[in-house]
Structure 1
Amino acid sequence: MISTDSIESLIPEFLMDSNHFFLLVSDIEGKVVKVNRGFERINSNPVDFQFSDFLSPNSEKEFSYSLELMLGSPKIRRHLMLDHPALRNEGFSQIWWEFSVVTTQEMDVSGIIGIGVGMPFLEQEMPWNNLVDVLGFGEIVLDQEFKVLSWDDRILEWFDPKAENWEGKEISKTLFFKDLNQFNHLLSQISSGDKPMCFLINTDYPGKSSFAALVTLSPKGFHLFLMPKAIPFYSKPEKPLIQNQMLALFTGSVFILNDAGKLIQQNESAKNLGRIWKGRAYSEGFALSFPNQANRFSKLLRAIEDAKKGQTEELEIKLLMPNQEFAFWNVTIKPIFSDIKIVEGVLIQVVDTTPIKSQLVVLNRENDRLRDLALSPSHILRGPLSSMMGILELMDFKQLDSENQKLFAYLKPLTKELDQVIRQHAKKMSTFN
């Protein structure tokens, strides 16, 4: 994760001008924002296109899945071997990418940055046995007969070679690789050439994911490099928790989570809301994440956890929009109980109250103006009246003739009465709401 308000300030000029490295900056939807000169070999004008537009179908799925994971857990980095068909004319198409999430200083996710290296550059500029350190692969060393000679510590994280007696055994006869009928054929192909070979290992081996594999020649035989590929941690259930017909009857945006907190259903309004809250519609099978102004959603996340325990809560979410105006939503979070009163999911209903709030804001502004208008006469009249009362106090009653003394006697009480009326009016207006 990279925290910065200006990603450009973190990218050195040599990297922008490099033809050896590929650099990509995208928004949270995967739309290209900035690239370096090397990336222009993939596409000369990629800005505003989706990065996935430049990938093969399999790589597109892998990147989309990884993008979802990174936005949900901004601190993780993703290492991916992606295939770019546009580079095949240059004699290769695979690039090893490392992706990180970019956040603002307020910890709001603002985009993704990726730095890639073409496989030919790695092959030419460094020994293949250094791939373990550079790319994070695990390594198995084989002799010329494809028998296991050794393995590194990363392999020990994924397998138990000693317990399975790998040493000296042909790789295709080990427990993990024994069902891979194509493996010996692939190894024989690499033995007849000098270029490395990449392929995917899919297996039903208990507790093990699929692996990206790369085989290269070595002085003693072969290097087999492995990297586990992430497996989606959630499979969509066959039966939804709420029937789609009923879901369509709800007001506002509705998200349905399973008991693990993963999204399994949503209506069209919820998909549109996801574009506001996250920048893209939420994908089913993943937890809800809030890269934009994440602190605004902390109460919602706590309410979801409480709903898993059977509690219902209501709250308001206030979010600053790009136009510098606030938007408001009322959110109801309810547990979904099974027939035997066990929580099997969470229902989140979100109603946009921005129009109502906006009307209230306008009404309050009008009330303020009315209050000012009501108070204005008091302020306007009090000044002259105070002056008149001051002059009356200065006048010498004895110097007036009898007729004027009589009028003066009426005038002074009237000014005091008017002053009292203005004061009472001002007091009433001050309590006006």
Structure 2
Amino acid sequence: MISTKNLENLIPDFLMESGFFHVVIVDVEGRVLMHNRDFAKVDGLPGQTQFADILTPNSAAEFNYSLELLLCSPKTKRDLMLEHSVGGGGKASRVWWEFSVITNPEMDLSGILGIGVGMQFLEQEMPWDNLVDVLGFGKIALDKDFRILNWDDRILQWFDADGENWKGNKLMEAPAFKGLAQLNEMLGQVSNEKNPKCLMVESHTSPVPAFAALLTASTEGYHLFLVPKEIQSQKQTEKPAIPTNVLACLPGAVFVLNKAGKLSQINQEGKNLGRIWKGRAYSEGFSLTFPCQPNRFSKLLRAIDSANNGLATDLELKMLMPDQEFQFWDAYVRPIQGGSDSPEGVLIQVFDSSKIKKQIFQVNRENDRLRDLALSPSHILRGPLSSMIGLLELIDSKQLDRENQKLFNYLKPLSKELDQVIRDHAKKMSTFT
């Protein structure tokens, strides 16, 4: 993941003028925003174009799938071998690409940066170790008899090389590669005079299901370069966690996560909500991510973790919108219990409560105004009344004639009675605060 304030300053001048590397920046929809001279020379872009439009159909599908994965998990990188259409006649140019997500300092997605190397360049003599650093390969060094000499730290992340006793053994004898017919066939074809070979490797022992592999000659013998390649899982055929007819009846935006934390079911309201939370609709088979304002949704992520442990949670979410107004949602996160002790998945229902919140806010504001109006008479009247009572205390009734003394004796209790009435009224109004 790359953070920058200005896309124009992201690509160094030497890459913009490079005749060896293709450089391109696409937006979150896959449209080409910027590219360097070498990329334009190969693909002949007529202006703003969808990146997938200049690929063969299979490569276009693979790129679109990888784009979705990158947006769901911005911190990851994707390495792809893509075929670019070249003119007519079905010809294609193969380019090895590495794609990374670009964000601004506020962590909003700005686009995707791609750096590619054409296969015609890879087939020439070049510093392969530098290419490993650029494109994120792991490297296994082999002697001329394909015995394993050493490996780098990336390989150790993906394989148990020490535990499987790779050192000194032939590549095809290592448990991770034993019995891989395509790899064995490629080893039989490669030589110092021949071009590098590319293939897919599905290891037996690595937690990573598949790798893109590149085998090339070196001074010691050969180098086998590997990079993980996620393969889109087959469409699930198991019974859905929530029956389709039940899902259609559930109110609000509904998301159903499977045990792996991926979206297995989603209704139309959920897809619409995705455009607010993510900037585009959520899709089944991908993660429930919040790239726009991830910190706002930390409570929801914690609630999902709790649901995986069998606990239900009700919570409120809010998000600052472009018009500087907050939007509110009530979310209900529930574990989906199955036959086993652990939940089979997580059900999330989300209701837009912005309208109700605004109405409540308006009612509270009106109540505050009414409360002020109700309390105002107490403050307004008690000041002058207290002054009157003080003056009455200062008057000497003995200096009044009999008739005025009689009236004065009525006035003093009445003033105190009025003071008590105002005090009682103030106490009653204070119960509304």
TM-score by length of 2: 0.72
CA separation of 1:149 and 1:254: change in aligned 2, threshold 3 A: same
Q: Which moved more, 1:407-416 or 1:372-381?
A: 407-416
Q: Is the CA contact 1:197–1:214 (under 8 Å) kept in the aligned structure 2?
A: yes
Matching residue of 2:256: 256
TM-superposed deviation, 1:422 = 1.9
Q: Is the CA contact 2:30–2:67 (under 8 Å) kept in the aligned structure 1?
A: no
Matching residue of 1:7: 5
Matching residue of 1:355: 355
Q: Distance in 1 between matches of 2:179 and 2:82?
A: 29
Which residue identity lines up with residue 230 of structure 2 in the other structure? A
Q: Distance in 1 between matches of 2:299 and 2:400?
A: 77
Q: Distance in 2 between matches of 1:39 and 1:384?
A: 87
Superposition RMSD in Å? 4.7
- 1:165 matched to 2:170? The reply is yes
1:207-243 per-residue CA deviation (whole Å, 9 max, x = no partner) reads: 5755445577889998765433223468524321222
Which residue identity lines up with residue 113 of structure 2 in the other structure? G
Q: How does 1:59-208 map to 2 (within 5 A)?
A: 59-83=59-83, 85=85, 94=95, 96-100=97-101, 102=103, 104=105, 108-119=107-118, 127-128=127-128, 130-138=130-138, 148=146, 153-154=151-152, 165-166=170-171, 175-178=179-182, 191=194, 201-202=199-200, 206=204
Q: Distance in 2 between matches of 1:287 and 1:406?
A: 89
TM-superposed deviation, 1:326 = 3.1
CA separation of 1:147 and 1:426: change in aligned 2, threshold 3 A: same
Runs of 5+ unmatched residues, structure 1: none
1:281-339 per-residue CA deviation (whole Å, 9 max, x = no partner) reads: 33322332233443443343333333334333333333333333333333333333335
Q: Distance in 1 between matches of 2:123 and 2:382?
A: 90
Q: Is the CA contact 1:31–1:50 (under 8 Å) kept in the aligned structure 2?
A: yes
Q: Distance in 1 between matches of 2:312 and 2:220?
A: 65
TM-superposed deviation, 1:256 = 1.8
Q: How does 1:30-429 map to 2 (within 5 A)?
A: 30=29, 35=34, 41=40, 43=45, 46=48, 52=52, 56-83=56-83, 85=85, 94=95, 96-100=97-101, 102=103, 104=105, 108-119=107-118, 127-128=127-128, 130-138=130-138, 148=146, 153-154=151-152, 165-166=170-171, 175-178=179-182, 191=194, 201-202=199-200, 206=204, 209-213=209-213, 225-232=225-232, 236-339=236-339, 343-395=343-395, 397=397, 400-429=400-429
SS of residue paired to 1:248: helix
Q: Distance in 1 between matches of 2:273 and 2:10?
A: 37
Q: Distance in 2 between matches of 1:321 and 1:13?
A: 31
Which residue identity lines up with residue 62 of structure 1 in the other structure? E
TM-score by length of 1: 0.72
Which residue identity lines up with residue 358 of structure 2 in the other structure? S
Q: Is the CA contact 1:215–1:223 (under 8 Å) kept in the aligned structure 2?
A: yes
SS of residue paired to 2:25: strand
1:94-123 per-residue CA deviation (whole Å, 9 max, x = no partner) reads: 363341453646xx5544452525537888
Q: Distance in 2 between matches of 1:323 and 1:344?
A: 40
Which residue identity lines up with residue 165 of structure 1 in the other structure? K
Runs of 5+ unmatched residues, structure 2: none
Q: Is the CA contact 1:321–1:327 (under 8 Å) kept in the aligned structure 2?
A: yes
CA separation of 1:420 and 1:198: change in aligned 2, threshold 3 A: farther
TM-superposed deviation, 1:65 = 3.6
1:58-89 per-residue CA deviation (whole Å, 9 max, x = no partner) reads: 4444344444444444443334455555899x
Q: Is the CA contact 2:146–2:221 (under 8 Å) kept in the aligned structure 1?
A: no
Fraction of identical pairs, as percent: 49
TM-superposed deviation, 1:164 = 6.7
